[in-house]
Amino acid sequence: MKDVDTGTITTKVPARLDRLPWSRWHWMIVIGLGTVWILDGLEVTIVGNLSAQLAKPGSGLDISQAQVAGTAAALYVAGACLGALFFGWLTDRFGRKKLFLVTLVVYLVATLMTAFSFDAWWFFLFRFMTGFGIGGEYAAINSAIDELIPSRHRGRIDIIINGSYWLGAAGGALLTVPLLNDLPVNIGWRVAFGLGVVLGVAILLVRRHVPESPRWLFIHGRGQEAEQLVGEIEEHVGGDLPDPRGSVTIHQRRSIGFVQIAHTMVARYPKRTILGLSLFIGQAFLYNAITFGYAQILSTFYKIDTHTGYYFAVIAIGNFLGPLLLGRLFDTVGRVPMISATYIGSGVLLLGTAWLFDQGVLNAVTLTACWCAVLFVASAGASSAYLTVSEIFPMETRAMAIAFFFAIGTAAGGIAGPLVFAGLVETGVPGDTALAFTIGAVIMIAAGIVELFLGVKAEQKGLEEIAAPLTATSVDTAA
């Protein structure tokens, strides 16, 4: 569809949102939108820790552990990549709110159907569809969060929210222990997926109250509605608010052509595009060198198949503590030094872990401790990849940019990773598994080096200052 011109307006909506103090209203946004990462963590962890159980006789599925950790994981990620692209395009076109409701419903239905799997093909199909919904969530949610959170808090909040994936991972890991040990082999894994549905319904009830992004509204010809919505938010927050600093003049359009979006990313911001791809590919390979094959490694090398949840819960907590404790530094020390340090640092730590594993000096406990250290650093870096691509491109392309980098980067590391790494672990040769670790580490370090040269200093800056909207005729950040 061609661009539709609807007029020109000057607005202070971005400045009004950025100058708001932190309030209960912002917590509602965090809970309603950010908790989707808990669902994603729950999903991936449950499947990873159930892989040995699903492969047992009597589980109700004729499937191998390598198929669960490899094929099913790759299909889940493939679905997430395609879902991100499809729903990302719709999010920029039809708004944030419509899509973050639709994508959650897709996730709920697909997860429920997974619980009723009766054959491997059914399991594979709905793992793909679950990923399809989750991928759409990433595009819709990240764009909405960044457009609603004040600029001085955006880095920390975004990184912590993305890091909350690991709260779901820890919960999923611990839940699988009683489900595997106290319930029949053909029932426990079905109940695990059902719990994801229950949590998703609870999130949906909260999410109904999250508003549309005012930034999206005024760009798409609904300026009066945007002004009214921000007025309601200010009234809800209350207090003596300072005068907003800055305004933006927008040439409104109801839609932005896909060709213009592609031109923006490739021709207008080529260095930022290279940066986004590097960060996403790096974190995808590192995490897929570890996460998807975790239970398989414990089962193959240490003969642990029913209590893997305890081990995974430990590294999941380490993963969440990283963004929680390091997140504020991305707003104070700065994006470039923190992103490069977390990428390079985690890669170096994983190289050390690979060497120790190959030497045969690690057991299940000490390997878990090594991973906990690696992922404490890596988790903050991985979360910053989503933060980076959601704030360094213009408003009109934000959701699509998130979707594009997530899809390309995750396809490279998230589809190839599980297939290659599951095969390496399955051999039972420590050197092969160490090779999987090394691949993830080297690519992560390379991404950190790219950040050093191409990183954008976006800390405590308004989104319009970092990247002016395509439809802007002027941006005044000091008025």
DSSP annotation of 19 reads T
Alpha carbon separation from 271 to 293, 318, 322 (Å, rounded)? 33, 32, 28
Residue ranges and CATH numbers for the domains of the chain are: 10-239+249-466 (1.20.1250.20)
Q: Which of helix, strand or coil describes residue 429?
A: coil
Q: CB-based burial of residue 164 (10 Å sphere; 0-12 exposed, 13-18 middle, 19+ buried)?
A: buried
For residues 435 and 445, give the distance between their C-alpha atoms in angstroms, rounded to a whole number: 15
For residues 449 and 386, give the distance between their C-alpha atoms in angstroms, rounded to a whole number: 18
Element (H, E) at 347: helix 335-358
- Looking at residue 5, its pLDDT comes to 47
Residue type at 302? Y
Alpha carbon separation from 162 to 50, 243, 274, 406, 443 (Å, rounded)? 24, 31, 22, 13, 21
For residues 192 and 123, give the distance between their C-alpha atoms in angstroms, rounded to a whole number: 14
- Looking at residue 11, its pLDDT comes to 87
Q: CB-based burial of residue 211 (10 Å sphere; 0-12 exposed, 13-18 middle, 19+ buried)?
A: middle
Q: Name the pairing type of β-strands 247-253 and 5-11.
A: antiparallel
Alpha carbon separation from 205 to 12, 126, 137, 208, 362 (Å, rounded)? 31, 24, 16, 6, 45
For residues 148 and 154, give the distance between their C-alpha atoms in angstroms, rounded to a whole number: 9
- Looking at residue 258, its pLDDT comes to 63
Does this model's pTM top 0.95? no
Q: Per residue of the chain (479 residues), give pLDDT as tens.
A: 444 446 777 888 888 999 899 998 899 888 888 777 787 777 777 776 677 777 778 777 888 777 777 788 778 888 988 888 888 888 877 878 888 788 888 988 998 998 888 888 898 999 899 889 888 887 777 788 888 899 889 999 989 888 888 888 787 777 777 776 777 777 877 887 887 788 788 888 877 788 888 888 888 878 888 899 999 999 888 778 888 888 888 776 666 666 777 788 888 899 999 999 999 999 888 876 566 567 778 877 887 766 666 777 788 888 889 999 999 999 999 999 999 999 999 999 999 999 999 998 988 889 989 989 999 999 999 999 989 998 999 888 888 888 888 888 877 776 666 667 777 777 778 888 888 889 889 999 999 999 999 999 999 888 888 988 877 776 666 54
| Alpha-carbon 226 to chain mean position | 27
Q: CA geometry: angle at 39 spanning 37 and 42, to 5°?
A: 110
158 in Cβ contact with 22 (< 8 Å): no
Sheet holding 472-476, edge to edge: 5-11, 247-253, 472-476
Residue type at 117? S
Of 400, 473, 464, the C-alpha closest to 147 is 464
Element (H, E) at 131: helix 120-148
Share in percent of the chain as helix, strand, coil (round to 5) = 75, 5, 20
For residues 189 and 118, give the distance between their C-alpha atoms in angstroms, rounded to a whole number: 12
Element (H, E) at 173: helix 165-182
- Looking at residue 34, its pLDDT comes to 77
463 in Cβ contact with 216 (< 8 Å): no
274 in Cβ contact with 455 (< 8 Å): no
Q: Among all chains, which residue has been given the structure tokens 């940066």?
A: 275
161 in Cβ contact with 341 (< 8 Å): no
100 in Cβ contact with 144 (< 8 Å): yes
Which residues, 6+ apart, have CB-to-CB distance to 271 below 8 Å? 454
420 in Cβ contact with 284 (< 8 Å): no
Of 478, 475, 463, 169, the C-alpha closest to 319 is 169
Of 57, 169, 132, the C-alpha closest to 124 is 132
83 in Cβ contact with 133 (< 8 Å): yes
- Looking at residue 381, its pLDDT comes to 92
